Chain A
Amino acid sequence: QKEVEQNSGPLSVPEGAIASLNCTYSDRVSQSFFWYRQYSGKSPELIMSIYSNGDKEDGRFTAQLNKASQYVSLLIRDSQPSDSATYLCAVNSPGSARQLTFGSGTQLTVLP
């Protein structure tokens, strides 16, 4: 089992729809969770971080964390073509030597 798993996609949604991206992790003592967006040919950039159970909203983005289920998700409301990118889930486990583990990413395409 991979430490951080994401649906590889690709995921396509029409403009204005809600895009839902999912991530599960295996290390129960993980403490912080991040969503990065990566445009083709560019470095990943942080768009959301979440540390406690529940929802965290920032503009059109909502991160959801359920530590009991070891599950974190990202919702993008009113999706725009500019949201088309690869979204990477990252998990920080302070107890591990590696600290930070990335999922393989989900490619999102928002269709005009």
Chain B
Amino acid sequence: NAGVTQTPKFQVLKTGQSMTLQCAQDMNHNSMYWYRQDPGMGLRLIYYSASEGTTDKGEVPNGYNVSRLNKREFSLRLESAAPSQTSVYFCASIMTALNTEAFFGQGTRLTVV
């Protein structure tokens, strides 16, 4: 009963390095989301995917790219990391059209130095 699995849990990058955050869900959900959360603040939407093959920008997409590889997987890529991208990242998924709750991954704590 995995739910939403995010990897890695922790990562330290140097400015300019690239990395991909992985997210996979095993609940056959249609929609998937990437959020970032900074200290004392709420969730801010980076990108979302309403269905396999589609992706859309959220509130704070600059500096990020995403791929909805298949229905299960939704990855977030930082091409050239910046200190401003130091944050906690959460992946979430939801079954659309059924008004069900969102399920979250355990989060990735990213530090860019």
Q: Contact residues of A with B, CB < 8 Å?
A: 6, 31-32, 34, 41-46, 49, 51, 86, 88, 90, 92, 94, 97-105, 107
Which residues of chain B come closer than 8 Å to A102, judged between CB atoms?
A: 35, 42-43, 45
Which of B40, B41, B88, B99 is in CB contact (< 8 Å) with A32? B99
Distance to closest chain A CB from B19 (angstroms):
20
Residue of B nearest to A44 (CB): B104
Q: Are B42 and A43 in contact (CB under 8 A)?
A: no
Q: Are B102 and A90 in contact (CB under 8 A)?
A: yes
Q: 27 A-B contacts, Cβ less than 8 Å apart?
A: A6-B42, A32-B99, A42-B107, A43-B106, A43-B107, A46-B102, A49-B101, A51-B99, A86-B42, A88-B42, A90-B102, A92-B99, A94-B96, A97-B48, A97-B56, A98-B48, A98-B50, A98-B58, A99-B48, A99-B50, A99-B94, A99-B96, A100-B31, A100-B102, A102-B43, A104-B41, A105-B43
Residue of A nearest to B40 (CB): A107
Which residues of chain A come closer than 8 Å to B34, judged between CB atoms?
A: none
Known: A49-B101, A103-B42, A104-B41. A98 touches B106 (CB 8 A): no
Which residues of chain A come closer than 8 Å to B56, judged between CB atoms?
A: 97-98
- Counting chain A CB atoms within 10 Å of each CB, the highest count among B43, B58, B104 belongs to B43
Residue of B nearest to A32 (CB): B99
Q: Which 8 residue pairs of A and B lie closest in terms of their CB atoms, listed nearest first?
A: A104-B42, A32-B99, A105-B42, A43-B104, A46-B101, A102-B43, A97-B50, A99-B31
- Counting chain B CB atoms within 10 Å of each CB, the highest count among A44, A51, A92, A97 belongs to A44
Residue B97 CB within 8 A of the other chain? yes
Which residues of chain A come closer than 8 Å to B106, judged between CB atoms?
A: 43
Residue of A nearest to B51 (CB): A97
| Cβ < 8 Å to A, chain B residues 66-97 | 88, 90, 92, 94, 96-97
